[in-house]
Structure 1
Amino acid sequence: MYVLPSTFTAGNMAFGFYAMTQSLQGALYNNNECFDRAALAIGIAILFDSLDGRIARMTNTTSDFGKELDSLADVVTFGVAPAVLAYVWGVRMLPANVYPMLRERVSALAVVVCFLFLVCGACRLARFNISHNPQPRNPGRPGRKYFVGMPIPAGAGVLASVIHCYSGSPIHDPRISLIWLGLIAGVGFLMVSSWRFWSGKEIDFSGKHPFQLFVLLALVGGLVWKFSEYMLISIALAYLVSGVLARLAYRWERDHRLGAR
């Protein structure tokens, strides 16, 4: 039984490696489908990542080895793979004859930004591994579990969902690439922030009414299957915005409370 969650972790890493190979093939052959497949592979890896820990807890097979393997797999799949994909898709494929000077500067900046995304993701994982009952700077509902900072799979999912929304068609304007780099930098900041993000750990499949939950998940799954380009980016951006709005709401409430004194 101890092998079962580690098998899902290995599957997570396999899809991350596949995403990197597709990113390189897309750059080599100028193939949009390769970029789209790379983005989808990262999305499937997120599903595997969400299952390995839950399966380990359900089967009571959690172990230090499994935790360390999961973190190493996450660095590969949700750190290296999306950083490579983001750079190649958003900057590397820019036409050489369109704003050549701007293209050169954006390319140099992109290397730094994508590397910082990777570093932020690795730091987020390291902080998660050494933290015991971490509390976000803007506490939420008592008794509800939150992540401190955006999880690295969610950060990778934001980048992958944008690429999939465009069916893998790369950016061809350096000015749009600057906006893309801004999004990458923003996601990196959210990962190392101390803002709260919903963890979803209170979802219980063994509760009193699991049927309603399964129906809801089946409905969402069907919509994702049918309209993946729009559903995935909507879910990813909604999760990103939820953390930002929670922080802004907490700050407004705190300032309002202090101003009333």
Structure 2
Amino acid sequence: MATKQLKRKTSDPELPSRFSMVRSFQLADFVTLGNAVCGCLSLMFAMKALLTQNTDFLFSSFWCIPIGVLFDFLDGRVARWRNTSSLLGQELDSLADFCSFGIAPAVLGFACGFQKMLDLVVLTYFVCCGLARLARYNATVAALPTDQNGKVKYFEGTPIPTTLVIVGVLAYGVHHGKFWRFANPMFQHEGPFASFSQAFTPEFVWGGEISILPGYEFHPLVLMYGISGTLMISRRLRIPKP
């Protein structure tokens, strides 16, 4: 009897069917997923660049971020055009932004040479600030002032897509030879990883490095991540929402 009742409950037509979540996606949600795809590809290309010691993959990783910004810009426009919005879309947008504009820029910084222990502390702080900023927005968006159309008037702290500026700085540096020593693995003659160990010495990382204590060095340029993270979590800084 218990078995029959269990079967009857599982076949209840009111239960959600398979793939019901995907069918509930709006057009804007699929655009948001494009942003997430860009973030994932940026991470993979950055890792591929480190493994192959080929800057072509690094530039592919850089390009994924502005394309992600484009998707992030379009999903809101599409939602307003279709007059659709949902809590699922809001959460999806935040998770995609965290991948593309939080984790990916930090990994790109690591790939460009910010690999000292104090560098990692700053990069981790940056990622945590981005995560906290998105969580705060989701938790407080209902209480933020809105215009007559119900649109939020301003952001508290800088929006996380502004990390595109950091990515632009890194791309400029790599393009002008301010980060990586090697350019093509075919010219290596000391083993597959010999030049990799030489690629991020102080003279080949833009701005060099500073020693705080013996064994505790960091690259000054990594501080742009710390500044960006601090601006993101500021509550006094209010940026008008376009």
TM bracket (short chain): 0.5 to 0.7
112-121 or 71-80, larger mean C-alpha shift: 71-80
1:164 counterpart residue number: 171
**1:13 corresponds to 2:55:** no
2:8 counterpart residue number: none
Q: CA deviation at 1:12?
A: 0.3
CA distance in 1, matches of 2:66, 2:167: 7
Q: CA deviation at 1:77?
A: 1.3
**CA contact 1:116–1:185 (8 Å) conserved in 2:** yes
Alignment partner of 1:32 out of 51, 55, 64: 55
CA deviation string 1:161-203 (max 9, x = no partner): 1122235546213328622211110001010012022321xxx
**1:115 corresponds to 2:124:** yes
- Counterpart of 2:209 in 1: which secondary structure? helix
CA distance in 1, matches of 2:46, 2:106: 10
1:175 counterpart residue number: 209
* 1:88-107 mapped onto 2 (5 Å cutoff): 88-92=111-115, 107=116
**CA contact 2:28–2:79 (8 Å) conserved in 1:** yes
Which amino acid counterpart does residue 14 of structure 1 have in structure 2? V
**CA contact 2:114–2:219 (8 Å) conserved in 1:** no
Q: CA deviation at 1:82?
A: 1.1
Which amino acid counterpart does residue 230 of structure 2 have in structure 1? F
TM-score by length of 2: 0.67
- Counterpart of 1:91 in 2: which secondary structure? coil
Identity of aligned pairs, percent? 35
CA distance in 2, matches of 1:36, 1:167: 8
| Structure 2 unaligned blocks of 5 or more | 1-23, 146-150, 180-203, 211-217
CA deviation string 1:45-79 (max 9, x = no partner): 01101111221122111011111111111111111
CA distance in 2, matches of 1:23, 1:3: 31
* 1:199-218 mapped onto 2 (5 Å cutoff): 199-200=241-242
Stretches (4+) displaced over 6 A: none
**CA contact 1:90–1:180 (8 Å) conserved in 2:** no
CA distance in 2, matches of 1:32, 1:4: 35
Which amino acid counterpart does residue 115 of structure 1 have in structure 2? T
1:76 counterpart residue number: 99
65-74 or 171-180, larger mean C-alpha shift: 171-180
- Counterpart of 1:18 in 2: which secondary structure? helix
CA deviation string 1:11-55 (max 9, x = no partner): 101110110011111111222222222111011101101111221
CA distance in 2, matches of 1:170, 1:21: 22
2:227 counterpart residue number: 186
CA distance in 1, matches of 2:171, 2:81: 32
CA distance in 2, matches of 1:179, 1:38: 23
Which amino acid counterpart does residue 134 of structure 1 have in structure 2? L
CA distance in 2, matches of 1:192, 1:165: 27
- The structure with more radius of gyration: 2
**CA contact 2:114–2:222 (8 Å) conserved in 1:** no
Give 1 or 2: higher helix fraction. 1
CA distance in 2, matches of 1:144, 1:78: 21
TM-score by length of 1: 0.63
| Structure 1 unaligned blocks of 5 or more | 93-106, 136-142, 201-261
* 1:222-237 mapped onto 2 (5 Å cutoff): none
CA deviation string 1:199-253 (max 9, x = no partner): 21xxxxxxxxxxxxxxxxxxxxxxxxxxxxxxxxxxxxxxxxxxxxxxxxxxxxx
